[in-house]
């Protein structure tokens, strides 16, 4: 329990004197009242700040703040590194583009003949196609590697897949024209509906049989001595021929292509 020290005794009231006049002592001036009190607290009752039950929380928070700061610093550093790499990559591609001026190869169908489709019978057909594709690489310093694995070649009539095959592997150097001859065969169990047979007979009578050729080829670009990652070239050609027997004549053709960089 705190002990309180009270101020000194109050001075004597008016008319009262302390001291002994006979001994020559005069009364002392009354002590002025103190302006403060002194409180004494036992040592075992001194409290810490914070109290013991909150000390662990203070320690946890004091550790947590630096960790958050470190995480923010690491995240900012990571963003700075990514931004720097992106800028350098962009500058590199820009320089390479200005130096090499790359352009996509041009594709066209030079030959297209059909056999194995009998429209006078209701039995399944086994179509065969001989297709000649021309690829022109107009780049002066860029070569193209075509891979067989992962490639595909398909021929469609009104959305029906009649035959399929793969593209042979080859390398096309700069300023080069490569002609690829493909022999494609379909399954012997392709059953045409009566409506499709009738439509084909009408096209034969008009000598305009429309087919669609789809080619998918994994390629790698060679720039100097450096090879890029594998990209996918997709080529679609609309080809119209005059008949279903070989040799046939191409009436019209139109090709378009696209690249999947990743």
pLDDT digits (tens, 9 = 90+) for 197-214: 999 999 999 999 999 999
Phi, psi of 73 (to 5 degrees): -65, -40
Torsion sign over Cα 23, 27, 31, 33: positive
Phi, psi dihedrals of residue 171, rounded to the nearest 5°: -115, 130
pLDDT of residue 210: 97
pTM: 0.65
Q: How far apart are CA 126 and CA 39, in angstroms?
A: 112
Confidence class of residue 83 from pLDDT cuts 50, 70 and 90? confident
Residue 98 CA to residue 119 CA, distance in Å, equals 55
Q: What's the confidence (pLDDT) of residue 242? A: 95
pLDDT of residue 2: 47
pLDDT classification of 122: cutoffs 50, 70, 90? confident
Those residues whose C-beta lies under 8 Å from the C-beta of residue 144, and which sit 6 or more positions away, are: 105, 137, 171, 172, 219, 220, 221, 222
Give SS3 for 131: strand
Quick: pLDDT tens for 54-72. 666 666 666 655 555 667 7
Residue 82: pLDDT band (50, 70, 90) is confident
Question: Which CB contacts under 8 angstroms, 24+ apart, belong to 100-103?
Answer: 100/139, 100/140, 100/141, 100/142, 100/223, 101/139, 101/140, 102/139, 102/142, 102/221, 103/138, 103/139
Q: Quick one: CA dihedral 156, 157, 159, 162, positive or negative?
A: negative
Q: Which two tokens stand for residue 85?
A: 């790499």
- In this predicted model, which residue has the larger pLDDT, 28 or 3? 28
Closest CA to 3 of 46, 42, 48: 42
CA–CA separation, 85 and 69 (whole Å): 24
């Amino acid at each position: 329990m705190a002990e309180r020290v009270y101020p000194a005794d109050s001075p004597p009231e008016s008319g009262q004197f302390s001291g002994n006049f006979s001994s020559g002592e005069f009364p002392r001036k009354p002590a002025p009242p103190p302006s403060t009190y002194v409180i004494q607290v036992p040592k075992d009752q001194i409290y810490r700040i914070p109290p013991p039950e909150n000390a662990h929380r203070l320690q946890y928070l004091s550790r947590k703040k630096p960790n958050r700061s470190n995480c923010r610093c690491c995240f900012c550093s990571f963003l700075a590194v990514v931004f720097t790499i992106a800028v350098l990559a962009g500058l590199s591609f820009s320089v390479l583009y200005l130096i090499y001026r790359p352009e996509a190869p041009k594709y066209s169908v030079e030959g297209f003949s059909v056999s194995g489709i009998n429209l006078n019978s209701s039995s399944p057909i086994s179509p065969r196609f001989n297709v000649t594709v021309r690829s022109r690489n107009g780049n002066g310093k860029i070569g193209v590697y075509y891979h067989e694995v992962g490639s595909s070649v398909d021929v469609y009539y009104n959305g029906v897949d009649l035959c399929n095959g793969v593209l042979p592997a080859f390398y096309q150097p700069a300023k080069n024209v490569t002609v690829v001859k493909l022999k494609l065969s379909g399954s012997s169990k392709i059953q045409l509906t009566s409506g499709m047979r009738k439509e084909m007979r009408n096209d034969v009578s008009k000598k305009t049989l429309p087919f669609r050729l789809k080619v998918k080829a994994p390629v790698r670009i060679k720039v100097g001595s450096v090879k890029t990652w594998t990209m996918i070239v997709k080529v679609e050609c609309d080809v119209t021929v005059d008949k279903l027997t070989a040799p046939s004549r191409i009436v019209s053709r139109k090709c378009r292509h696209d690249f999947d960089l990743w």
